[in-house]
Structure formats: structure tokens, C-alpha cells
Structure 1
């Protein structure tokens, strides 16, 4: 048995919805990150995720042991809408968790369609009491599950005497969302007109502006042309032009450019009109281009859109990621394979690079995600290329993060051949001055000739650019490498307060240098990067009061799996918990589940000799050793 999240398919189901023990596990666990800064005056990008009716393998709250569609180009998005053709679409928590990690808002969908939709609208638009009751319940649902607003999609005729109530419903819902969840959004889909007619306008005009004025934005239908873009721009108040989201159907269907990889043509026209974009069904890549080549095709699709999407900057100097995309063919923990079959759980997705792909791939180098190896999660970054006279560089994170304390930085990697080494580069600024920190194994390598020596730091000043080479800190490095497996090596560096305090961290890059100075083929697996404000240590378990109970006492002893409810409490340790691994420990130790909240439902074969053990994975990338984790017996 696995906990699943489901849509609400009827008005009765929405109005009678109440929190319960069965809904508790389906709540998102990660709040919207405030560590990303986006230009307020730039056009926005919304993605509307409509894939095969929705609620595929993403419906499993604790993930599943199969492949599934993943999204990881969050740096291009402002909003993510989870869409299905059900009355109320509640986003699965894995999508909300992954999006929130990257500072992206998530919207659910309220949709009515055709004759059944007309009946539903007629019912809830009878009076202000009715539509306010529905709006209040929708706000309650949004707040409970932890997402950030609604797409309102009315695709049926509205009785003319109820159109004013529909507008008031949208306005009231928007006001209530704003009052309950800071920054929440309500977006109207271009379908019904001011007369109640179902007639897509493909532009903002007098026919649909009353709904646009009642909420936070409008999602225009896809069959527009450049004159309609100009009309939309003219119709919107100058302060609200970026609240007009012009539809781009990746499946084509009358959209300029024809969709697919040519969606960039529609995006170019939209940006030339200085309007926002709503990309519909971006899963086209996964659905039509072959799952086996998904990563390469997905990267191609978004690289074509790069010039038309503004990217955020990361505003916190605290940065920890193993680059896991929330699925894998194996699950790795400290480099060791602890699950040797496919898994899918987007809630476990780690922070993805914020730099665009432009410049990261060329004839001499490439950067891509690989599931063939990993340090923590389902894979890692694979950096390959040719090293000539200078190091081969890859940009990973774009930041604007003021630093006020010393930094404890680490890089975990493995490489081929042996005569290369990774370099972690931190670029900082202060006014017109720049400082580049090279965190590297060898003395004075990338920073240049040693002109000034102060302990482990070598400095060379050239105009207003200061270059500093910092050696690994042996004690911290030993703490990490004592737990690493399969040739993964961690190098830890202590960057003194005098080196960074008062400066602003602007970029994090990784380089590959070669002792022989020229190699035609090098390969670096990048497993984890950490930038912390305190030194690493061995964490204690974040779990206490672990209990396990039968979920269904009527299950027989036929040898099939049994359903168990596992619960525990967060011990309130000084480290923040990222998620928990659950192991069944008998003759072999097997990873049987993973959870963000301190509870989960498991379907397991019953063994009188086995125990369940809960392991804590911290947000700083540290993992509690299994020998220090609490366990409990399976009930008989």
C-alpha cells in the first residue's frame, strides 16, 4: 500500500473536504524558498503541466520504484501549474516540494468543462453565499497542502445572469488567497467572455478584461498573432503588462511556430511584445521524443528557450546540493549503492544549477546529469572535455549573496585520469573590486605564481582583480572521507572571515586542471558541493520515539505484503532535516522507503526477525550512520 494524492472530482467533494489522517502525509513539506531573486520588471514564465490526465507516478506521496517524468530547469520559471481535467486539481506534494526548493510558486487548477461544467457553475454561482463558500474551501485546501494559488479554467457557457457572480467569485478568491498566503496568485484562463459565451479570445480585450482585473493575471489561449499581442499590451495597464501570460502550446495545435523545438519562435514573438509566457504541456519532450534520450532532448528544448527566459540569482551564501533530480536507476548514499533498481520521488530533488546551459557545452567540453553514478541520491553531474593550457571551467551557480562570516566549503568528486584535479572557484565582488578564490589541492595552481605567502593562502593582485588560492583543511576533509565509498573524495576548505566578510558572492564554478597541462579527454563526476557557515561534523540522529503499527489488521498470512504505518518525532537537532531513509534490516539491509515528514506508510513482507531503521539525511548533505540510527521491530 502506498499513500496517494487524488483530485477532487465533484462540487460535493470540494465543499465537504476536511483534513484527515489520510491527507496528512500528502501535504508538501518544503516552504517556498526566499533565496532566489527575480527581476520584478521582467516578463515572467509560467509552465502548465498537463500530462496524460495528470496523477501519474507523481501521485505517490512517498515515491515509487518506477521511472517518471521529472523537471529540473527551474531557473527559467516563475510559476508552475499542475493541471488535470478534474474539478479541483491538488498538486502532488513532490511537485510543490521540488518547485519550492527553487523558489518557484505552484498553482492548482479549478476547471469546469462542457455540459457537466455548466451545471456545476450554475450551482456554485447561485448566490454570494455559494461562491464564497467554494472560494473559502479552495483557500483552505491551498493552505493545507502548501501550494501557492489557482489557475481558474472555465470552459463552458455561463448563464448571462451569473457572469457577474463569476467575476465576483474570482475577485473574492483572489482577495482571500492574498490574505491567507503571502504572494499567492490567482490566474484566469482566456475562455469565457463578459457575456458568458465560451469563446477564446487569444488576446486581452474588452471581452475578458473584467476577469483579468479581478485577479493576478490572464493565461491567453494559443491561437494568437502579433497584432493580438500588441492589442493585449495596449489593453493592459502599463504596470500590469507582465501579468498577461501568452499561451505557447508545445504540441502546436495552432500556436505560432508549431510547437515542439520550434516553441522558441513563439517565445521570441511574445518577448518582443514585452509580455509574459505560459508554456503548456512541456512534457511533450518526454511523451514524444523517447524516454531513453530524455535528458539530452530536455536540455535541448530549454536551451532553445534560454534567450527568452530571465533567470534568478541565488541570494544566500549557504548552498548545499548533490544535484539529484528526484529519480534514478539506483539510490546512492555516501557513494554506496543502497537501492539497485529504479526509483522516483521528486520531493528528494536537490538544488539544480542556476547558470544556463549556454557556454557549458561546446566542441571541447560538456556538462550533463548522469544516473550511472552518484554520491547522494539518484545521480550526479558529469563534466567532460579537453584540458589544454588552462583549466577547463564550468559555471554552476549565479549568486548575489552578501557574506558576513567565514565559510566552510567542500567539493565531493571522482575523476579520470588520475593526473587531473578539480578546482572550486568562488567569485566575489565589492564595489569595483573582484576577488576570485581558487579552492584546490595543489599549491598556487590556478591562482598563479606565488608572490605572497601567508600560511596556506597565496595572493596575487592584478589591477582590481585579486586571486587567492586556498588549500584543503585536513581535519574537515578526514571527517568526510572516513564515510565516503567507491572512490569518492571530499576536499574541505576553510575560508577565513578576512577573505570574504563584506564581499558579495557572485558565482560558483568548477574547473578541471591537469598536471600534464594538456589532455584530450578528462572526466569529472561532481557529487556534492557545500558552502556552510559552520564546520562539518558527525551529526546525531534526528529521530526519536520511533513506532511501527499494522495499518490493516485484517491482512492474512498468505505470504503477501503487509501495510505498516511508521511514525517518529523530530529530535530537534541543530541540523535541519532534509529527508529520512527507511531501511528494513534482516539478513540484508534494504532501503524500503523515504519520507520528508516524520511518518510514512510502507508495504512490506513480514519477517519475524526484521527491524525498521530510520536514517536522517541533513540539509547540509551529512548522513547519520546506520549504526547511530534508532530502529523498531515489525509488529507480529
Structure 2
């Protein structure tokens, strides 16, 4: 059992909301990353996630056994809206955590609908005091849970004498969000007009512009045409044209193109939107999972976003630092340092690692393929599987993974962990750098006997081969199991300082001339400014208490609250909690120094907290603190 996040279903529930020990664990803990950038002068893309009413397996704060929908094409998004048909939709922290890790903002939803919605609006729009009280509480909720703003979706008639108050509510909410959280957003959905009529315009025009002017953008309804797009462009003006998000309903309800894969085809919705130089709001992208099922989800999801690739600007890293095991936040097993720590399906999007910024589908062609596999892994629920056919001796198959625009000003330590099939696979990690009109390609591998070998490819292009660095004892202390191997490299200042990191790729080849099918499991990549830290735990004051009888799991197990302090918390990626008996059993995972677990004491009375650090170091269980379950 894991604590759950729930929406607020009534105006009374919103206005009376207070933080408590019950809500503490449901807060997101990952701040919005500023290590990603997108072109400022290009249209934006948001996703509005509406799936089966929301709050499915993603509602469990600490994750759960089983599976669920996951999103991993973050490089295409500027915003992610979590949507449901409850009055106030608070995004589950797993979505905020993983979106923030990828530099994507997350918005909650405020929605009123039909007759019940009309009554709610009549109440909170009675006076400026009423709508300001609501807005203040919404800002408080946003700050507490750590998301980045609101979608305002009013789908009911507004009494004419209250329309001005509605506009003022939107303006006041926007102003308060901005003052309390830099960069926060409030988006208005195209539904109610300036007269209070419920009449979708499918465009920005004088009927809804008063709300657009009061906030950060408008989400247009789906029944638009090219004329309405041009009207929207003209009304918005050049300074705010990219604040107009044109709705694309992936289920095809009235949307040009008919929805589904058609919503992405060149002749359909996205083409028209981008030709008008407007932003896009993709509604219910989980259509792939809902209608086509989970069995071939990755293949279908990659196909969907491949069709969108040319219409979405991709993010780039603006920092040279990187640490990822490619886990997507679920798996058939949980792997820790190459060993199986949990041998059953699990789902926890908070544990999703940074995903490649290059188009995965674009790495697939005749003779080579790149995909996520959950059959094996180094850390988390899976790893990348690179495979293909080598047709010529010493030929390498190259796979592009990350694009950067990151200045380098210090020595870099690079590690990558992999295993090949067959064992003689020779992986090479390639970093491309630029300075002025010159390029430098650093090839990190084992093919050259000397430490550094330079090759001039062209007048402006230099290739530098670098052998593994084995001098640092902390590198040598790393242990790899089940044929996983970690290679470690030190990139001296003379090679990287003053240069701009542009891209990261991986190449594979084989020694055996008879072996033309090569396969590499890529478990982890790190780019650090210092060697991985020594594996010692900084967890202190670990305590466990049993929650009172009425809060116990109806299944019969006891609920326990586990808390601790961590002097090095800012370096922590997440924690694994084990119940120790004859064997160690993984029973929980959390991003913060606390969790609530449903446990049976007959399975072991001792709990152990293991730290997984941001630099990839995993503290050995023998060095981790433990405590006993209370009697």
C-alpha cells in the first residue's frame, strides 16, 4: 500500500484545504530543471493528459506493483497539464517529479461543468472577496505541491453580472501565481464568451480575448479551420502569437485529421497549426495506451511521436552534466547495480530517469535498432538495447542519444556501463564539441593502446581517442555484476575547456569477423565534474512508528511511518527501503526522507534504507542504517 493523492471535488474542500502530515508525502520533490532549453522564437507544445478519469496507478505516491501509462518523449514538450473532471485536479507528484527532471512545467486543472458548475461559479464569483479567497487558496495548493500553474476550464454558463468577476478572477490568479512562483503559468480554455455564454469559439477573437489578455495563454477548442487559425494569429499579435495553443484532440472529436495517428500526419492538424505559426495543445495523448493497449505500447507510442517529430522543437541540454540509467519509471523487475532487487512488475514514474533528447524512432532503420528493454537493466526497470548488423570489418553502428549546447569549463569524468552480446562487443561513447568553426570528437573506448590518440579527419575536425582512466580508487571500487562493465574516463581540461559540448552518441562493433549481428545493453551514462563519490551513507536518526489502528491497511498488514535525516540530501536521487529477513526484500522507494509502508512483521522485523545518489553511486546494504519495527 502507498499513500494516495486525491483531487478536491467541491468548493468547500478547496477553500478549507490545509496541509497536514497526511498531505506531506504527496508533495513533489524535484525542482524544475533549468538544464534544458528550447528555441524561444518557435511555437510551443503542451500535452493535456486526460485518461479514464485520471488518478489511476499514478495516484500512489510511492508507486505500486503492476503497470500503467508512462510518458517519456519529454524533449518535445513545454508544458504538461494533468486533467480530470473534478473541481481541482492536483497533479500526482510522480508526474511533476519526472516532468521537472526534464525541464517541463506541470499545470493542474480548475474545472466547472454544466449545472453544478454554474452553481459553483455563482458562489465564488459573488464578490471580489470570494474569488480572491479561491485564487489565494489555489496558489497555496500550487506552491505546496510544487507544480507550476493552472488550466482554467469553465464549461457552463456564467451569469452576465458575474462575467467581469470571472475575468478579474483569472487576472488575479495569474498575478498571484507570478508573484509567488517565477515562471508559473495560467492558461484559459476557450469555452465561455465575454457575455457569459457557453459557446466554444475554436479561435481567439473578441468573444474570448478578454480572458486571454488576463492570463498567460489560451487553449483553443478543437473544431477550428485555417481561417480561424489566421484570425487567431491576427488577434494575438506578434508578441503573443505563441501563447495561442490550438487544440488537437487525439480521439478525433471534431478535430481536423480525425484524431489518432491522423492527428499527426503532415496533411492534417499539426501541419496546419505550425503553418499558422501557432502553438499546439495535444489533448488525450494517452489514446495510444487506452485504445491500442499496453502490450505494444512502446512501439505504438514511438510511432505516434515520430509523426509529431517535425512539428515540435526539441530540447537540448545546457549543462554538460548528465546521469541516467534510462529507466522509464516502471519495469517487470527492479534492478540495482545489475542485480534483481525486486522480481515483479512495478510502476513509479517518480523514478523515471532522464530520457534521450534525440528521436528514438529516428535511430531505427534497416540494419539497426534502438529501443528500451525491460528484460535486463543496471539501475531501475530497464535499459537501452542497441543492436544491428555490421556488414564490414571494423564498421561501427552509431546511435545518437543526447543533444547539448553546453559550455565546458572544467575537467569532466565520464562513465558508461554496458554489456555486449557477444562478449567481445566494443562500445565507444562519442562526445562532439565545437569552438568557432572547429569540431572535436572525443571517442571514449578501449580500441587504442595509448591513453590519448589524435587523428585529424579534416582541416576543421579533429578526432581524439581516449582510453579508460583507472587511477582513481573510487573508480576501481565500483563492482559490476551479471557481466555489466563500467568504463571510466577522465577528460582533461586541455581537451574540453573552452569548447561547447554538442552531442553524445554510442557506437558498437565486434572483433569477430564472423559476427555480423551485434547487440549492446546500455545501462548507465554519467558526465560528472568529479569522480563518483565514495559509497558511504549520510542517513541518520532513522525511526519507525506504527500508525494508529484506524489508519491500518484493510488487508491486515500494519501501516508504518518511516522517517530519517540525511545530511547529504541534496545529492540524493532516491532511497530504497528493504525489509531484512533471511534475504533483503525491496518494500518501498521514495524521493524524500520519509515514507509510509504496509508491512507484515512476520516477513522480517528490521528495515534498512539504501541511498541511490545523483552521481549514480549506490550505497551497499552493509553500509546502510537500519531500525526495527516497533512491537
Query: TM-score category by the smaller chain?
Result: over 0.9
Three-state SS of the structure 2 residue aligned to 1:122 is: helix
Segment of structure 1 superposing worse, 127-136 or 472-481 = 472-481
1:609 offset after TM fit, Å? Answer: 5.1
Instruction: Please name the residue that 2:501 is paired with.
Output: 505
Instruction: Please name the residue that 2:196 is paired with.
Output: 196
Instruction: Please name the residue that 2:330 is paired with.
Output: 327
Aligned-residue CA RMSD (Å): 1.6
Q: Which among 339, 347, 351 is matched to residue 348 of structure 1?
A: 351
Instruction: Please name the residue that 2:622 is paired with.
Output: 627
2:577 matches 1:582: yes
2:414 matches 1:412: no
Segment of structure 1 superposing worse, 411-420 or 526-535 = 411-420
2:464 matches 1:468: yes
Instruction: Please name the residue that 1:431 is paired with.
Output: 436
Q: Distance in 2 between matches of 1:603 and 1:246?
A: 45
2:54, 2:83 within 8 Å by CA — same for their partners in 1? yes
Write the mapping of 1:209-248 to structure 2, written as runs, cut at 5 A: 209-248=209-248
Instruction: Please name the residue that 2:445 is paired with.
Output: 440
Alpha-carbon distance change, 439 to 587 in structure 1, aligned in 2, over 3 angstroms:
same
Segment of structure 1 superposing worse, 534-543 or 555-564 = 555-564
Q: Distance in 1 between matches of 2:362 and 2:260?
A: 23
2:301 matches 1:305: no
Three-state SS of the structure 1 residue aligned to 2:579 is: strand
Instruction: Please name the residue that 1:12 is paired with.
Output: 12
Three-state SS of the structure 2 residue aligned to 1:523 is: strand
Instruction: Please name the residue that 2:363 is paired with.
Output: 360
Q: Distance in 2 between matches of 1:557 and 1:470?
A: 56
Q: Can you give the 5+ residue segments of structure 2 that lack an aligned partner in the other structure?
A: none
1:413 offset after TM fit, Å? Answer: 0.3
Q: Deviations over 1:351-403 (max 9, x none)?
A: 00001235311001111001110000000000011123421000000000100
1:483 offset after TM fit, Å? Answer: 2.3
Q: Distance in 2 between matches of 1:258 and 1:557?
A: 46
Instruction: Please name the residue that 1:33 is paired with.
Output: 33
Q: Distance in 2 between matches of 1:207 and 1:75?
A: 34
TM-score of the superposition, structure 1-length normalised? 0.96
Instruction: Please name the residue that 1:611 is paired with.
Output: 606
Three-state SS of the structure 2 residue aligned to 1:136 is: helix
TM-score of the superposition, structure 2-length normalised? 0.97
Write the mapping of 1:119-518 to structure 2, written as runs, cut at 5 A: 119-264=119-264, 265-357=268-360, 359-389=362-392, 390-443=395-448, 456-461=451-456, 462-476=458-472, 479=475, 482-516=478-512
Q: Distance in 2 between matches of 1:355 and 1:275?
A: 23
Alpha-carbon distance change, 358 to 63 in structure 1, aligned in 2, over 3 angstroms:
closer
Alpha-carbon distance change, 133 to 557 in structure 1, aligned in 2, over 3 angstroms:
closer
Instruction: Please name the residue that 2:559 is paired with.
Output: 563
Q: Deviations over 1:262-281 (max 9, x none)?
A: 11121111001100000000
Instruction: Please name the residue that 1:449 is paired with.
Output: none
Q: Which among 545, 552, 567 is matched to residue 549 of structure 1?
A: 545
Instruction: Please name the residue that 2:93 is paired with.
Output: 93
2:579, 2:604 within 8 Å by CA — same for their partners in 1? no
Q: Deviations over 1:468-525 (max 9, x none)?
A: 0000112459846742211100000111111001001000100002224674311100
Q: Distance in 1 between matches of 2:416 and 2:165?
A: 58
Instruction: Please name the residue that 2:519 is paired with.
Output: 523
Q: Distance in 1 between matches of 2:366 and 2:287?
A: 28
1:94 offset after TM fit, Å? Answer: 0.2
Q: Distance in 1 between matches of 2:592 and 2:552?
A: 29
Aligned residues: 625
Q: Distance in 2 between matches of 1:76 and 1:136?
A: 32
Q: Distance in 1 between matches of 2:300 and 2:196?
A: 42
Three-state SS of the structure 1 residue aligned to 2:239 is: helix
Alpha-carbon distance change, 480 to 20 in structure 1, aligned in 2, over 3 angstroms:
farther
1:629 offset after TM fit, Å? Answer: 0.1
Segment of structure 1 superposing worse, 466-475 or 180-189 = 466-475
Q: Deviations over 1:315-349 (max 9, x none)?
A: 01110100000011100000000000011100000
Instruction: Please name the residue that 1:48 is paired with.
Output: 48
2:114 matches 1:114: yes
Q: Deviations over 1:24-76 (max 9, x none)?
A: 00000000000011111100000000000000000000000111110000000
Three-state SS of the structure 1 residue aligned to 2:64 is: coil
Instruction: Please name the residue that 1:447 is paired with.
Output: none
Three-state SS of the structure 1 residue aligned to 2:296 is: helix
Three-state SS of the structure 1 residue aligned to 2:65 is: coil
Q: Distance in 2 between matches of 1:158 and 1:184?
A: 26
Three-state SS of the structure 2 residue aligned to 1:536 is: coil
Q: Can you give the 5+ residue segments of structure 1 that lack an aligned partner in the other structure?
A: 445-454
Q: Distance in 2 between matches of 1:186 and 1:202?
A: 19
2:509, 2:518 within 8 Å by CA — same for their partners in 1? no
Alpha-carbon distance change, 157 to 480 in structure 1, aligned in 2, over 3 angstroms:
farther
Three-state SS of the structure 2 residue aligned to 1:359 is: helix
1:546 offset after TM fit, Å? Answer: 0.2
